[in-house]
Amino acid sequence: MGGLKRKSSSNAKTLAKSKKKKGPHLPNSILKVIASQKRPLNSDEEEDDDAIDSDDEHGGDLYEYEEGVPEEESRKNNRYDRHDNYDYELPEDFEDENVESEDDVNSENDEDDDRHTRMLQSLTGMPSAAFEGESKSKPVLFTEAYPEGEFNPTRDVLEGKNVLTEEDFLAPLEGKPGYHKTSKQIARMRKDTKHVVHAPLPKPQRERLERKAVIGLVDGEFSKWVHLVKKNREAPTVYFNQDVDLGYSTVGAIASEFQPRTEFEKKMASVLNDSEVSEAHRDDGARLLELNEVSMEDHIKNRDHIAKMRSLLFRHELKSKRIKKIKSKTYHRLKNKDLKNSSLGALLDPEMAKEEAMRQEAKRVEERMTLKHKNTGKWAKRMITRGLNVKYDGTRAAIAEQLQMNANLSRKMNSMRDGSSSDESDDEEELNDGSDEDTASRLIAKAKEKTLKTMEDDGVPNAGLMSLPFMARAMKKKNEEANEEAKRALEEYEEWENSGGENSKKPVSVSGRRVFGATAKVEAPKESKKDSDNFYDSSDSDNDMAGIEDNDMEDIRDNASPAKNTNRNITETEKFDDVAGNPASKTTFDVAMFTSGSWKKMAGCKNTESKKESKKTRVPISRDQDKKGSRDEESEDSESEAEQMVDGVLTSGSKETFEIPSQAELINRAFAGDDVLDEFEKDKEEVLNLEVPKPEKPVLVPGWGNWTNIQRKIGISKRMVMEHEAEEKERKLKLKTRKDARLKHVIISEKVDKKAEKLHTTTLPFPHTSKEVFEHSMRMPIGPEFNPSTVVRELNRPEVVKKTGVIIKPVKFEEVNPNDEVDDEHPRNHQKQRPKKKTGKRQGQVKSKDESYKFLIPWE
C-alpha cells in the first residue's frame, strides 16, 4: 500500500507541477469550494487525505485525488508490476510531455471510470449521477477563449453530450396553463416521421450521387450529337457556303440605307433634301445664288475665327524665335532631355535615337550581367523571406515592378540590334579613317597585353570535371599549344609595332593580296586561342572579350598590311609551312588554306588521279567487249551492205531445207562453238558479285598475328572465320530474295536508281497506315482526261467548301439517322442551286430547316 501511495503521490506531484505552470489559476474561493465538496466524499479515507495533504498545500487537487483511487482499486497486479520498475525518475524538464501523458492515462482509464463510480457509490451510498458528472467533467477542463454564450457553445454542446431536449424545455413549464397542449403537440411531432428533416448525407457521398446524376444527364445530352458529329467527320466534303449573306453588294445599296445620325449629317441631309434647293437646281440656277446668302452673324464669326488663328500663329512664331535666341546650355540640355525622354524625340532625330538605343543596350547588358532587378537585391530578398511582399501591397507592387523592369531589360531587342550592328561598322570605319597609326599601335599593345594575360592565367581548376587527371592532362596540352601560338603572335605584334613606327611616314598603298596573307597570319593564332578558351569555360564574358579582340585584330590587319614588303612576305610563308607541318596544331588547315594555291591544287590533282584510277578499275570488263566491238567495226564498214544482201539470199536459200528433220541438229551443231549459256551464267555471277559483293575471305597476312609457330598452327582466328561465315550467310539470303533468284536465264538489276527515287514517296502520307491500301487508293487517276465529266467534279472536290468571308458558326443540333450512309452525290445541291433572289420569309424558313453547321472540333 505504501508503494502505491508513493506512486500516486509522485503522479500527483508531476500533475501538480504541470498545473502550477500551465493550468488555469483558479481563484482561491473556488478552490475552497471544490475542496469542501471533496471533503465529505473522501472523509472516510484519511490516509489518502493525509497523503494529499502532505503532498499539496492546497490539499484540494481534483485530479490527484481521483487518480489515486481507481488505480488502487482496479489494477492491482499491474500496479505492483509497475511499481517494481518504478525506480526511474522522469527528468525535470519532462513537463511538456505531461499533458499528453495525462490524456493517455485518461483514455486508458476511461473504462475504469465507471468501475470507480460504482465503487464510490458503494462507499458513499450516494447516487451514481453525482460522481458521473465529476468524472465526465474531469478530463474536459477547457479554458475557452471567449465567454460562453449563444454563439459560442461550450464543448459539451458541440460534442453532443449535454444536448438540450424538448423535455428540458418543457420541464419548467409543467403545471402552467397550455403545458398539456404543447406536450401533446410535441408528442405528435415525434411520431410524425414524414416531416422529419434528416441530417444531410456526408459530403463525399452527396457529391458522388450528384456526379452520377450529372453524368447520366450529360451523357444523354452528348450522345444525341454523336451521329451528327460522326456524319460530319466522315463527310468527304464539308460545306460552309450555305446562307451566305455578304451584306450590301453596291455602293448604291449602302447609300440607300444611310441614316443621318450626327448633327453635321443631319444638317447635310436637311440641305440635300431641301425641296427649295433641289427646285432651284432644276430651274436655271438663278435662285441658287439667292439661297446662298450668308448672314452677317456668320460672316463676323468667320472673320473672328480667322483673326484668332492668325494671332495664335504669330505668337507661336515669336515664341520660337525667342527660344532660338537662348544661348543657355542648361536650357538646351534640359530641353534635349525632355525631347529624348519623349519617344517623339527619338523618332525625329536619328542620332538621338542611336544614342538612346546604345544607352538602352548598355542598360540591358548591365541588367543581364548583374540581374539587379531580378529580386536578387538585399532589400528584395529580405522582403521575400519575411513574407512582407504578401502582406503589403506597396512592397508587392515594388517587387513586381522590379521584375517587370528585368523582363523589359533582358528581353531580346531585335530592332535595336539591327541598328547597332550598322553603327558598329560605321564606328569602325571612323576609327580606321581617323588616327591610323595611333590606334594601330594602341591596339597592338592591347592585343599583346591580352595574349600575355591568357598565357598567364591557365590555372587548372581544382574541382569538378576539370580536375580529373586525364582532363587535366588534355588541358595542359592545350595550354601549351595555346601558349606557343600566343608566343608566335606576340612576336608578330612586336614586328608590327616596329613596322608601324617605320611606316608612319610612308604613303599608304594597299594591295589586296598582301592583306589577304596578313589576315591569314593573324587569324590563325587568334582563332585557336579563342577555341581553347571556349573549350574550358564558355562564359558570356569570355565570348565578349573574344569579340572585342576580333575587331581589334581586323584593325591591326588593315593597318599593318601596307607595312609589309615582299621580303617579309616570303619569310612568313615559310613560317606558314612550318605551322602547316605541325600536325597537332589546330591551325594547320586554316594556314594551308591561305599559304598558296599549290597545296590545294596538289590535293585536287591527287583526288582526280585517284578517281581516275578507281574508274579504271571498274571499267575493264566492259572495255574488253568494247574492243571487240571496235575490231568488228573496223572489219566491216562499206562491205556490210553487200554482205547483208548476200545474207538475205542465203536465208532464202535455207528456206528449202525447211522440212529437213535434222534441222535442229544442224542448228545445234552450228551453234556448238559458242557456249552462250555458260557465258550468260558467268555474266550473271559477275553481276551478282557486283550488286551483292562477296565478303572477303579471312587470310593470314604475314606479320599480322603470324609471328610464332603456335600462332601459325592456330591459323586464322575463330572470330574472323565466324564473321566471314555470317557474311556469307547474309549474302546467300540476299541472293535468295532477289527477283531473278529462280530465273536461270534472267538477270534483273536491283540497283537503286537515285534519279527515279524522287518519283516515290519515302513515307506514307498521313492518314494512311498500310502501304497496300495507299497504293490501291492511288491507282485511279482523277483528272478530267480519265473520268467522265459527271464525276470529275465530285472526285476533285475539296474537303471544305467555303466562301471567303463566311463566318463558320458552331454546329447546330439536327436529327441524323445513324443508318444513313455518307451521301456525297447530292451534297446539299438544293442549297447551292437555290436561286439567290428569294423573299426574306422563305429564306428564313430554309435557314431554320437546314441550319446545320458542321461540327469539326472533336471533343472526345
Partner 1 sequence: MEVALEDNNLMENVLPPDEQEIDVDLEAKEKKYLRGEVANLESLKDKKLKTQLASREKLYGKSAKAAAKIEKWLLPASAGYLETDGLEKTWRIKQTDIAEEVDRSSTRNQYDIVLPDFGPYKLDFTASGRHMLAGGRKGHLALVDMMNMNLIKEIQVRETVRDVAFLHNDQFFAAAQKKYSYIYARDGTELHCLKERGPVARLRFLKNHFLLASVNKIGQLHYQDVTYGDMVASIRTGKGRTDVMEVNPYNGVVALGHSGGTVTMWKPTSQAPLVQMQCHPGPVSSVAFHPNGHLMATSGKERKVKIWDLRKFEEVQTIHGFHAKTLSFSQKGLLAAGTGSFVQVLGDSSGDYSRYMSHRMEKGYQVEKVMFRPYEDVLGIGHSMGWSSILIPGSGEPNFDSWVANPFETSKQRREKEVHLLLDKLPPETIMLDPSKIGAMRPSRRKEKPTRGEIEAEKEVAIEAAKGVELKKKTKGRNKPSKRTKKKKEMVENAKKTFPEQEHSNIAGKKRRIGEDAAAELPSSLKRFARKN
Give, as ranges, the residues between 819 and 848 that touch partner 1 (CB under 8 A): 822, 824-825
End-to-end Cα spacing for the chain: 80
Binding to partner 1 by CB under 8 A, coded x per residue (else -) over 475-514, reads -------------------------------------x--
Residue 658 interacting with partner 1 (CB under 8 A):
yes
- Binding segment (CB under 8 A) for partner 1, from list 94-102, 277-285, 301-309, 746-754: 746-754
* 91 vs 765 by CB, closer to partner 1: 765
**Residue 649 found at the interface with partner 1 (CB under 8 A):** yes
Q: Which of 289, 584, 701, 756 is the binder for partner 1 (CB under 8 A)? A: 756
783 three-class SS? coil
The alpha carbon of residue 494 and the mean position of all alpha carbons in its chain are separated, in whole angstroms, by: 52
The stretch near partner 1 (CB under 8 A) out of 123-131, 567-575, 649-657, 842-850 is: 649-657
Report yes or no: 486 and 455 within 8 Å, Cβ to Cβ: yes
Minimum CB distance to partner 1 smaller for 425 or for 839: 425
Which is closer to partner 1, CB of 367 or CB of 555?
555
- Long-range CB pairs of 547-552, under 8 A, 24+ apart, other chains included: 549/447, 549/450, 550/526, 551/428, 552/443, 552/446, 552/447
The piece of 179-187, 579-587, 761-769, 808-816 that touches partner 1 (CB under 8 A) is: 761-769
CB atoms within 10 A of CB 231: 20
Among 734, 801, 846, 850, binds partner 1 (CB under 8 A): 734
Amino acid of residue 121: Q
Q: Which stretch binds partner 1 (CB under 8 A): 162-170, 208-216, 482-490, 758-766?
A: 758-766
Task: Report the nearest approach of partner 1 to the CB of residue 802 (Å).
Answer: 19
Q: What is the rounded CA–CA span in Å between residue 719 and residue 725? A: 10
Determine if 778 is a binding residue for partner 1 (CB under 8 A). yes
Using the contact rule CB under 8 A, the part of the chain among 91-99, 434-442, 533-541, 646-654 near partner 1 is 646-654
- Rg from Cα positions in the chain: 55
Instruction: Report the residue number, 84 or 234, with the smaller CB distance to partner 1.
Output: 234
Out of 538, 790, 819, 829, point to the residue binding partner 1 (CB under 8 A): 790
Angle between helices 350-370 and 329-341 (to 10 degrees): 70
**Secondary structure of 505-525 in the HEC alphabet?**
CCCCCCCHHHHHHHHHHHHHH
Amino acid at 695: P
Min dist CB 679 to partner 1, Å, is: 6
Cβ proximity to partner 1, 318 vs 746, nearer residue: 746
Find how far residue 575's CA is from the centre of its chain: 52
**What does DSSP assign to residue 229?**
H
Q: Which is nearer to partner 1, 566 or 790 (CB)?
A: 790
Q: What is the 3-state secondary structure (H, E, C) of 376-396?
A: CCHHHHHHHHHCHHHHCHHHH
Look at residue 528 and give its three-state secondary structure.
Answer: helix
Helices assigned H by DSSP within 537-565: 540-560
Among 758, 837, 841, 849, binds partner 1 (CB under 8 A): 758
Only one residue has cell 597476312, namely 701
**Window 686 to 715, contacts with partner 1 (CB under 8 A):** 687
- Cell 565570348 found at: 543
201, 645, 800, 808: which one binds partner 1 (CB under 8 A)? 645
Q: Does 663 bind partner 1 (CB under 8 A)?
A: yes
771 binds partner 1 (CB under 8 A): yes
Q: Looking at residue 178, what DSSP letter applies?
A: T
Residue 142 or 589: the one with the smaller Cβ distance to partner 1 is 589
From the list 749, 747, 748, 745, the residue with the least C-alpha distance to 676 is 745
Q: By CB under 8 A, tell whether 431 contacts partner 1.
A: no
* 760 belongs to the binding site for partner 1 (CB under 8 A): yes
| Interaction of residue 773 with partner 1, rule CB under 8 A | yes
Question: Residues, the chain, total?
Answer: 860
Chain CA centroid to CA 751, Å: 45
φ/ψ of 239, rounded to 5, equals -105, 135
747 lines the binding site for partner 1 (CB under 8 A): yes
> Where does this chain touch partner 1 (CB under 8 A) — which range of 137-145, 147-155, 392-400, 683-691?
683-691
Rounded Cα distance between 735 and 742, Å, is 10
Residue 350 CB, nearest approach to partner 1 (Å): 18
Q: Least distance (Å) from partner 1 to the CB of residue 819? A: 14
**Minimal distance, residue 694 CB to partner 1, in Å:** 15
Q: For residues 215 and 833, is the Cβ–Cβ distance under 8 A?
A: no
**Least distance in angstroms from the C-beta of 696 to partner 1:** 15
Q: How far apart are CA 71 and CA 73, in angstroms?
A: 5
> Does residue 785 bind partner 1 (CB under 8 A)?
yes
Q: How far is the CB of 335 from partner 1 (least distance, A)?
A: 35
**Among positions 622, 817, 829, 848, the unique one binding partner 1 when judged by CB under 8 A:** 622
Closest distance of CB 515 from partner 1, Å: 4
Cα gap 409→360, rounded to integer Å: 8
Q: How many Cβ atoms are within 10 Å of 60's Cβ, its own excluded? A: 21
Amino acid at 407: A
According to the binding rule CB under 8 A, does residue 746 interact with partner 1? yes
In this chain, which of 84, 150, 757, 815 binds partner 1, going by CB under 8 A? 757
* Grid cell of 135 as nine digits: 468524472
Q: State the amino acid at position 504 in one-letter form.
A: S
Interface pick for partner 1 out of 502, 772, 815, 860 (rule CB under 8 A): 772
Question: How far is the C-alpha of 233 from the C-alpha of 228, rounded, in Å?
Answer: 9
Smaller CB separation from partner 1, 106 or 787: 787
Q: What angle do CA 359, 363, 364 make, to 5 degrees?
A: 115
How many amino acids of this chain bind partner 1 (CB under 8 A)?
A: 97
Distance CA 216, CA 211 (A): 8
- In this chain, which of 330, 385, 415, 652 binds partner 1, going by CB under 8 A? 652
- Which long-range contacts (C-beta less than 8 Å, at least 24 apart) are formed by 75-84? 75/112, 79/4, 79/7, 80/3, 82/7, 83/3, 83/4, 83/7
One-letter amino acid identity for 680?
A: F
Span near partner 1 by CB under 8 A; candidates 92-100, 302-310, 438-446, 786-794: 786-794
Paired residues of 800 in beta bridges: 238
| Shortest separation between residue 549's beta carbon and partner 1, angstroms | 14
x/- letters, 388..417, toward partner 1 (CB under 8 A)? ------------------------------
Query: Is residue 795 part of the contact set for partner 1 (CB under 8 A)?
Result: yes
Choosing from 261, 718, 751, 836, the residue that interacts with partner 1 (CB under 8 A) is 751
Quote the least distance from Cβ 622 to partner 1, whole Å.
4
- Enumerate residues 233-262 that contact partner 1 by CB under 8 A: 233-234, 236
Q: SS3 string of 680-693?
A: HHHHHHHHHHHHCC
Quick one: which H or E segment has residue 800? strand 800-801
Question: What own/partner pairs with CB < 8 Å and gap ≥ 24 does 308-312 have?
Answer: none
Q: Which is nearer to partner 1, 318 or 667 (CB)?
A: 667
Residue among 687, 682, 814, 663 at smallest CA distance from 747: 687
Check residue 459 for interaction with partner 1 (CB under 8 A): no
**Minimum Å distance from CB 790 to partner 1?**
6
Q: Which of 515, 545, 546, 846 binds partner 1 (CB under 8 A)?
A: 515
Return d(Cα 606, Cα 611) in angstroms, integer.
Answer: 8
Closer residue to partner 1, CB minimum distance, 52 or 747: 747
Please name which of 682, 681, 692, 680 lies closest in space to residue 732, comparing C-alpha atoms.
Answer: 692
The verdict on 774 binding partner 1 (CB under 8 A) reads yes
Shortest reach from residue 555's CB to partner 1, in Å: 9
Residues 534 to 593 in contact with partner 1, rule: CB under 8 A: 554, 557-558, 561, 590, 593
